Amino acid sequence: MRRTQRQPRVRRVADGFGRSGIGRGRPAAGGGSRTQRPGREHRRAGVVTAPRKVLLPSPRSFCAGVERAIDIVEALLTRYGPPVYVRNQIVHNAFMVRDLEARGAIFVSELDEVPADARIVFSAHGVAPAVEREAERRGLDAIDATCPLVTKVHNEARRAANAEDTVVLIGHEGHEEVVGTMGVAPERTVLVERAADVATLVVRDPDRLTYLSQTTLAVAEVEEIIAALRRRFPKIKGPGSDDVCYATTNRQAAVAAVLEESDLVLVIGSVNSSNSNRLMEMARDAGTESHLIDYASEIEPEWLRDKGTIAVTAGASAPPVLVDEVVTAIASYGPIEVEERSVAEEHLEFLLPVRLR
């Protein structure tokens, strides 16, 4: 059964202090706040300061597309047993990849690493149609865990190409989502990474253009590039609805809402997580110190010195348990007061493939 994703409330975080953090740490409901006392080890280290405020911008952590992708791999492991092969990381998070590897998932870069007739999962970032055809040719049992919002962009690219438009894809070269989207209509797709690229962009027909976007970019960055495209190509068309997904937008808005009062922003996410990097960059662009970390153990004591207010958030592919562990680590350096700051509620769920329901 699908598990509904809800954001952890303050009591969930406070009550989690001192736990081992085993498993994914699916959040539970609750409310309130609590002051934590410094751990003996760090009192001896001399890094305890005045009580700090820890802000938890919400939404944070898992989104519906990530939940669905991970649930697909877990369901396959439960139903069929290991191994379950996954093309590329199912989501861009080191914790989740290691967790699934320990349970029998095998992550590969190319299909030729997968034995004939084996089971293969396509990651949440999607794949090019050529990869799907190759899996079918080899007789692999393919299960598509592509986020439905990425599939939406693929469908938009296909429609635009069928209408003989050139697709101008806004995104980061080499990102798996971009590779997959460009593979939908490679002969009719060009990539734009920054607004400055627009001036030198070469297209077949400036009157027949459609722009699309990677789903995990910074909203402001995409808006800047779209404005540059519209100035140069007034007839360019866009998607029916924004391609930057709701989860990316909400997590950026939540961080933006606490930047003015934060001395430090800790973003939990892996280095290859686009949406996590954008959260860190947002904070730094606003003049606030920010660090991207996979685990609480990566926190440097000097980051916390003289920081009265610390915001802790997590990218859409990072599990909630890691937020608990980071807050616990901060509490070990001195007393803290934890406060939830919510800008939106998320209730969206994506169904699993029919065979796994």
Condensed to tens digits (0 to 9), the pLDDT of residues 5-56 reads: 444 333 333 333 332 332 344 433 333 344 443 443 444 344 545 689 999 9
146 marked as binding residue: no
Domain harbouring 82, CATH code: 3.40.50.11270
Regarding whether 102 and 18 lie in a shared domain, the answer is no
Both tokens of residue 292? 């991207």
- Rounded to whole angstroms, the Cα distance separating 212 from 151 reads 12
Contact 119, 106 (CB under 8 A): no
- Rounded to whole angstroms, the Cα distance separating 142 from 47 reads 52
- Residue 209 in any domain: the answer is yes
- Residue 259 in any domain: the answer is yes
Regarding whether 250 and 338 lie in a shared domain, the answer is yes
Regarding whether 283 and 259 lie in a shared domain, the answer is yes
Regarding whether 301 and 219 lie in a shared domain, the answer is no
pLDDT, the chain, mean: 88
Among 97, 103, 111, residue whose Cα is nearest residue 81: 103
Domain boundary among 226, 244, 262: 244
274 marked as binding residue: yes
Regarding whether 175 and 232 lie in a shared domain, the answer is yes
245 marked as binding residue: yes
Cβ neighbours around 164 below 10 Å, total:
10
Both tokens of residue 142? 């393919």
- Residue 232 in any domain: the answer is yes
Domain harbouring 322, CATH code: 3.40.1010.20
Regarding whether 270 and 203 lie in a shared domain, the answer is no
For 67, residues 6+ apart whose C-beta sits below 8 A from its C-beta are: 2, 3, 5, 349, 350
Regarding whether 263 and 327 lie in a shared domain, the answer is yes
- Residue 48 in any domain: the answer is yes
pLDDT digits (tens, 9 = 90+) for 253-300: 999 999 999 999 999 999 999 999 999 999 999 999 999 999 999 999
For 55, residues 6+ apart whose C-beta sits below 8 A from its C-beta are: 258, 261, 262, 309, 310, 311, 312, 339, 341
Both tokens of residue 43? 């009192």
Is residue 146's pLDDT more than 60?
yes
Pick left, alpha or beta for residue 353 (phi over 0 → left; psi -120 to 50 → alpha; otherwise beta): beta
Regarding whether 318 and 232 lie in a shared domain, the answer is no
Domain boundary among 119, 147, 175: 147
> For residues 334 and 49, which has the higher predicted lDDT (pLDDT)?
334
- Residue 220 in any domain: the answer is yes
- Rounded to whole angstroms, the Cα distance separating 265 from 311 reads 5
Percentage of residues in the chain with pLDDT exceeding 90? 83
- Residue 324 in any domain: the answer is yes
92 marked as binding residue: yes
Domain count, the chain: 3
Residue 96 exposed, middle or buried by CB count within 10 Å (0-12, 13-18, 19+): buried
Contact 226, 211 (CB under 8 A): yes
Which positions are annotated as active-site residues? 177
Which segments of the chain does DSSP mark as H helices, in order?
10-15, 40-44, 64-80, 94-102, 129-137, 148-162, 176-182, 219-232, 246-256, 274-285, 301-304, 320-331
Contact 67, 320 (CB under 8 A): no
Q: In the prediction, which pLDDT does 33 show?
A: 43
Regarding whether 72 and 31 lie in a shared domain, the answer is no
63 marked as binding residue: yes
- Quickly tell me which residue has 């699993």 as its tokens: 352
- Residue 154 in any domain: the answer is no
Three-state DSSP string of 308-343: CEEEEEECCCCCHHHHHHHHHHHHCCCCEEEEEEEC
- Quickly tell me which residue has 């492991």 as its tokens: 77
Domain boundary among 217, 244, 271: 244
- Residue 230 in any domain: the answer is yes
Q: In the prediction, which pLDDT does 253 show?
A: 97
* Residue 101: domain span: 65-147
